[in-house]
Every structure is written in C-alpha cells, then in structure tokens.
Copies of this chain bind each other. A is one copy, B any other.
Amino acid sequence: MPTPTGVGTEELRRANLRAILQTVHTHGPTTRAVLTKQLGLNRSTIGALTGELQSLALVSEEAAAVGGRSGRPSHLVVPREDNVVVAADVGVDRIAVALVGLGGEVLDRRTRGHQRGEHDVAHVVDAVAQMVEDVLGAAPGVRCLGIGVAVPGAVRASDGVVRFAPNLGWVDEPFTDLLAQRLGRPVVTGNDANLGVLAEHLRGAAVGYSDVAYLNASVGIGGGFLLGGRPLGGASGYAGEVGHMPVDSSGPVCRCGAVGCWETKVGENVLLRHAGRLAGGGPPAVAEVISAAKAGEARAEAAVIDVAEWCGVGIRAIVNLFNPEIVVLGGTLAQVWRAAEDRVDAAIDSGPMVSPRDDVVIRSAGLGGDSPLIGAAELAFAPVLEHPQAVPQAG
C-alpha cells in the first residue's frame, strides 16, 4: 500500500492555509478556537498555519479577551490591512477608486469625473493610473497586492481586452494591458455587474443565496448572475448583458443602435430627462428627483412612476429567465425601487412569474453603489487568497 506522500500532505497544508486566510479576509478577525472548530483541525496545526501566515505578513495575532466557557484565552487571528489592493470602477460619468485592505475594509475612496468628459481609452487609463498612484502615495508602507478594475462592458477573460463597452464607446480595447504597463503593477479587469454580484454574495445583500440576479443601473444597466452558486459567464465570459434586452419596439433608439432597449427606459439620465433635469448628475441628481416627487412635483412624480414601471417589466423578464432566489438592485434601480416599490411590484405582477411571487426576494444592494468597486477589490485579492505563499515579499 502506498503511504501518504509528502505531496499530498503539502497540498492539504496549502488548502488549510488558504481556508484560514479566506476566512479572516471574509469574516474578519477570528479566534484560533473558532478556526480550529470550523476547519476540523487540531490546535497545534492551526498554530503552525497561522504562524506561517504571520511570517508571510498576511495576518497578525492578538491575545483575545478571556472568554468562553473554559475561560481559556484564544489568540485572535487578524487580517493585516497593510496588505492592500486598489480597486477602480470605471463608470460612464465618473471613476471611483478605493484602497481596500485585506479583510475588506475600504481605507480610502475617491471619485472624479472623466478628464474633459473623455471616454477614449487613453484618457481613462491616464485618469485611473493617476488616481491609483494618488491613493497609494497617500498610504506609505502598504504592500500593494494588485489592481482590480470594473468596467461597464464585456471583458475577455484570457487577456483583459474590453471587447465591447457601448456606453464608453469601446470595442476591443486592450485596457488592462495599457493600465498594467502604465502602473508597472498587475491589473485584472472584470465586468462591473459580474463583480457586483460577487461582492453582494460575499459581503452584501446576497450572502447565503446561491441563485442571485444583480441588476445595477447607472447610465446603462449591468446584470451579474450567480446560478447554483456559480457565476454565469457564458461561453466567452460575456453573459449577463441585460441593458440591451429589447422591451419596446416603439421606444427610443438606444445608443447601441437598436430600438427600445431596457436601458433606454430605466437609466439614470432617462429618469433625469423625464423629470426635466439635465442628464449627468448621477445618483445625487436622481435622489433630488425622488425627493421632489415625494414633495409633489408632478413632473418628477411622473418620471419616477414611469421608470418604476419599466424597472418592474425588466425584473419580471429576468426572474422568468433565471428563476433566482434573490434579485439585488443597485444604482438607479435601487433608488427607484425604494421610492416606488408598489409601482415596481405592480409591473412585475402585470404578467406571469414562473416562480411563486413570495419565493423571490427583492433587495437593494447591501454595498450601495460600491458593489462593483468592492468586487473589483476581491478580483485583485483573489490570487493571494488562492496562493498565500506566492504573496510578493516587497511592497
């Protein structure tokens, strides 16, 4: 009989190392006692593993308060926040950048408009690079593990090329390589809604659900899906394009060229224009319209009702197609749903629903507008969470 080989033991050890780091990253500081119980390992093994994570400078250990039935103190294993990633969310109107520490805390967060309103890839690379350097420059002594970027478009997984981002006017742009060259750091890019559903599942409204539809509207609408616990990617990683569902052949021509796409009905600028406001004001402008509607301004009220009804029409289609347990709404969709839930519900109920209505939970994003940003941070943390030992030893 073969005896257990060193390789097998080493693989097991790596899996346990990974499990500890992922636990403290996702759930925060955790006692050795809890880790021992959760992972089914003995105390000395946990001690050796947390010791290795300490020597990699990924966690620290603190003496926890004396507690529990035995009254015996247990070391608290704490993710070290001086391990950071920089996350960026490239929107149509604005770019957000965050410095996120291991453990998931946002340590710094900045937003700004695009340079001179320009969306071309060179300008966006410039702007993102400058913002990344700014937040890193303001945080001396951190170890930067990588850069994660969310973009409102289809990203080819193999090389980070942005295949198609209609609201930025990008087709086949090598954005990821350009930014990585500019920064001299590893960059990973993902679709904003795919990253949003990941973040909501890890840290937001969809914790504990395995069939999740995340729908996020700003200028356009993104859709990210978790089906049976797995992200929906499709054959090439481009699935989830909900914004260009055709919902109204009599509706306006979309910037994509087709007629009556869902995002011509429920984007934030759609709401602003319906309400007689200037486009481009973002979530604060949407909030103003909603306040005005509540205060009785007829035009604002009509705009909110119209957008709410179209929200419901699209949500019904998505529920019928994907049969999720939970629909998580972000951006304008969340704002409008909170303001006019009855109107959204009425539109959902105007047609058939494949699953019993009570079985579908609808919620606002737990991370607000930051779900894609937090998801981009998780994307950048992923390699270290997968291979803690491969963490770079210099900042």
Are A351's CB and B261's CB within 8 A?
Answer: yes
Q: Write the A163-205 contact mask toward B (1 if CB under 8 angstroms, else 0).
A: 1101000000000000000000000000000000000000000
Asked if A395 is at the interface of the complex by the 8 Å CB criterion, the answer is no
Partner of A352, one of B164, B211, B236: B164
Partner of A324, one of B235, B257, B316, B352: B235
Asked if A70 is at the interface of the complex by the 8 Å CB criterion, the answer is no
Residues of B within 8 Å of A254, CB to CB, are 351
Asked if A295 is at the interface of the complex by the 8 Å CB criterion, the answer is no
- Interface segment among A7-15, A243-251, A335-343: the answer is A243-251
Contacting residues of chain A (238-272) with chain B, CB-CB under 8 angstroms:
238-242, 244-251, 254, 256-258, 260-261
Are B352's CB and A239's CB within 8 A?
Answer: no
Are A233's CB and B242's CB within 8 A?
Answer: no
Partner of A154, one of B211, B232, B242, B354: B354
Are A234's CB and B324's CB within 8 A?
Answer: yes
Residue of B nearest to A318 (CB): B321
Assembled-state Cα–Cα distance A343/B157 (Å): 32
In this complex, how many residues of chain A approach chain B with their Cβ under 8 Å: the count is 54
Residues of B within 8 Å of A237, CB to CB, are 323
Residues of B within 8 Å of A210, CB to CB, are 235
Are A235's CB and B248's CB within 8 A?
Answer: no
Q: Write the A313-349 contact mask toward B (1 if CB under 8 angstroms, else 0).
A: 1101100111111000000000000000000000000
Assembled-state Cα–Cα distance A234/B260 (Å): 27
Majority secondary structure, A binding face: loop
Assembled-state Cα–Cα distance A352/B262 (Å): 13
Assembled-state Cα–Cα distance A260/B247 (Å): 8
Are B250's CB and A352's CB within 8 A?
Answer: no
Could you jot down 29 A-B contacts, CB within 8 Å?
A154-B355, A164-B354, A228-B230, A228-B233, A230-B230, A233-B323, A234-B322, A234-B323, A234-B324, A236-B323, A236-B355, A236-B359, A238-B354, A239-B321, A239-B354, A241-B321, A241-B352, A244-B352, A245-B320, A245-B321, A246-B314, A248-B249, A248-B250, A254-B351, A256-B351, A256-B352, A257-B350, A258-B350, A261-B351
Residues on A facing B (Cβ under 8 Å): 1, 3, 154, 163-164, 166, 210-211, 223, 227-228, 230, 232-242, 244-251, 254, 256-258, 260-261, 313-314, 316-317, 320-325, 350-352, 354-356, 359
14 new A-B contacts at CB < 8 Å, known A154-B355, A239-B323, A245-B320: A163-B355, A230-B230, A235-B324, A236-B355, A237-B323, A239-B321, A241-B321, A241-B323, A244-B320, A245-B317, A246-B313, A246-B316, A248-B248, A257-B350
